[in-house]
Structure 1
Amino acid sequence: MTLTILVVVIAIIGYFIFKLYNHDNTTFYQLTGYSYFDLLLNKSVRTSYQLMNELEHVQGSKKIMMNLKLPVHNEVQTIDALLLHESGIYVVNVKKKSGWINGREQSIEWIELLHKNRKNVFNNPIHETKRLIHALKDRLPEVDGALFETMVVFTNDCSFQQIEIHSSDVEVLKIAELKKWAAALEGKRLSDTEIEKLYATLETFTHDINTTLRSEAVTSVS
């Protein structure tokens, strides 16, 4: 019995060492510094990891950035993720929801329908993202404004009941749908050099990632 327990303990330790090693070699860890245990224990970190994992599979020249902090009117606004891709600049706003989502592009507020006829009203995430894009454009005045695309990405726990989008530069989808979205990307509007230059310019806005995410995970629900 003692030998069996010892073997099990060694197997468990070996499993975690293997997982830790693999995690420490991921792009997600290199960008955020979050440990494997952060991934296990923090739902917000897991959501960011899922998003990062999908964006990494986008084909073509690209750079991915996470949690950019932009000063906007004496406040700090966060861009959850930014995909600098040969086809454009995709500004990603992540929403963690679990009910039925209803919203129109022009509406001020959207609605999440929950169990037992409860509902949660939240700010239009498209408008939120567009404000972030305007702030980003202010930092990148030399970049063609037509390159910027609005992406609102919901967690897989929710369902879309009625979403009305009219603009061609706006996408509203769930994390699980990113693979299909990425397969449809086409065109080369940014060169490798331009992508690298944009990345270098924006890298200064990726500080204090861990502190902010941990705070948001504890005190808020997007």
Structure 2
Amino acid sequence: MYEEMIALLIIVCIIVWTVVLIKYLHENKKYKNSSYGKQSSKSFWKTISNQGARGEYRTSLVIDDAPLKDKMIFNCYIPNRNGDKTEIDMIMLCNKGIYVIENKNYSGWIFGDEKSKNWCETLKGKKYFFYNPIKQNKSHIKNLEKMLKVGDEKYISLITFNANANLKKVSTESQNVYVIGYNKLKQFMKDQLDKSDVLTDEQIEEIYQKLLPGTQLSDAEKQEHIERIRKTYKK
């Protein structure tokens, strides 16, 4: 009886691990075929093991499924006004415009408006503050326009939050500024089809080629950027 139970347990473990392996291989293949996976130097495992990268990847999957002819740029480093570099999470280029996407991985209730310096995350009874992502993205767009010179009206500022965030009280005022929760992102992307075209296919390709080198920094250059940001926030 004991030997039969051990044998059954082994069979169950083999079945479970086989299912897990098949699922992992399927997700790994999906990752490699995604716009994020094709451009990222990170493996599937490293991406899903990192909270920030995992959130960006999941957001990119929704965008990949959108009925828009687009080109995606991920983790793009561009010059800023201080002569250093700033990193932009995602940029979607399509006929409808240049979508500058700041992806946030927060949980709990989110409170904020366009003018406040900081926003608030309320989680398990505690409050945590973070820099206003609309202001952050506005700075990204200014730096992008200085580089691309295509016209301010062609940019859409899109702040996305992961599935664990509840946008409890968030407001925007400016045109082409949006704050979207993960569960509403799919519909938002569909709605963009109703907008007029502002970029031609040739312009999209030209912008893409200008930005692509910014995604190809070495690990040392990326680490230098991280250390510079840490020092800035310590001041």
Kindly indicate which of the two structures has a greater share of residues assigned to helix: 2
1:41 is aligned with what amino acid? S
TM-score by length of 1: 0.85
Please state how far the C-alpha of 1:209 moved relative to its aligned partner: 7.7
Aligned to 1:114: 123
Identify the match of residue 177 of structure 2 among 170, 179, 184: 170
Q: Following the alignment from structure 2 to structure 1, what is the Cα–Cα distance between the partners of residues 30 and 122?
A: 39
Aligned to 1:57: 65
1:34 is aligned with what amino acid? K
CA 1:47–1:114 in 2, change beyond 3 Å: closer, same or farther? same
1:66 is aligned with what amino acid? F
- What is the SS of the residue equivalent to 1:70? strand
Matches within 5 A, 1:15-26: 16-26=24-34
Aligned to 1:179: 186
CA 1:12–1:131 in 2, change beyond 3 Å: closer, same or farther? closer
The answer to whether the 8 Å contact 1:99/1:157 transfers is yes
> Any runs of at least 4 consecutive aligned residues in structure 1 with deviations exceeding 6 A, and if so which?
none
Q: Following the alignment from structure 1 to structure 2, what is the Cα–Cα distance between the partners of residues 10 and 182?
A: 36
CA 1:165–1:29 in 2, change beyond 3 Å: closer, same or farther? same
Deviations 1:44-89 (A, max 9, x none): 2211110110111222321111011122213321110001011111
Identify the match of residue 35 of structure 1 among 11, 21, 43: 43
Q: Which has the higher contact order (CA 8 A, sep 6+)?
A: 1
- What is the SS of the residue equivalent to 2:140? helix
The answer to whether the 8 Å contact 1:61/1:192 transfers is no
Identify the match of residue 104 of structure 1 among 93, 109, 113: 113
1:129 is aligned with what amino acid? N
2:51 is aligned with what amino acid? K
Q: Following the alignment from structure 1 to structure 2, what is the Cα–Cα distance between the partners of residues 75 and 81?
A: 19
> What is the identity percentage for the equivalent residue pairs of Structure 1 and Structure 2?
23
1:205 is aligned with what amino acid? G
Aligned to 2:52: 44
Q: Following the alignment from structure 1 to structure 2, what is the Cα–Cα distance between the partners of residues 16 and 137?
A: 40
Aligned to 2:93: 84
Q: Gaps (5+ residues) in structure 1?
A: none
Please state how far the C-alpha of 1:39 moved relative to its aligned partner: 3.5
Matches within 5 A, 1:120-199: 120-141=128-149, 143-185=150-192, 186-199=195-208
CA 1:23–1:90 in 2, change beyond 3 Å: closer, same or farther? closer
Q: Following the alignment from structure 2 to structure 1, what is the Cα–Cα distance between the partners of residues 13 and 182?
A: 40
Moved more, 35-44 or 92-101: 35-44
Q: Following the alignment from structure 1 to structure 2, what is the Cα–Cα distance between the partners of residues 76 and 111?
A: 27
Q: Following the alignment from structure 1 to structure 2, what is the Cα–Cα distance between the partners of residues 85 and 121?
A: 33
Q: Following the alignment from structure 2 to structure 1, what is the Cα–Cα distance between the partners of residues 31 and 188?
A: 26
Q: Following the alignment from structure 1 to structure 2, what is the Cα–Cα distance between the partners of residues 163 and 110?
A: 9
Q: Following the alignment from structure 2 to structure 1, what is the Cα–Cα distance between the partners of residues 14 and 171?
A: 56
* Aligned residue pairs, count: 215
Identify the match of residue 67 of structure 1 among 75, 79, 85: 75
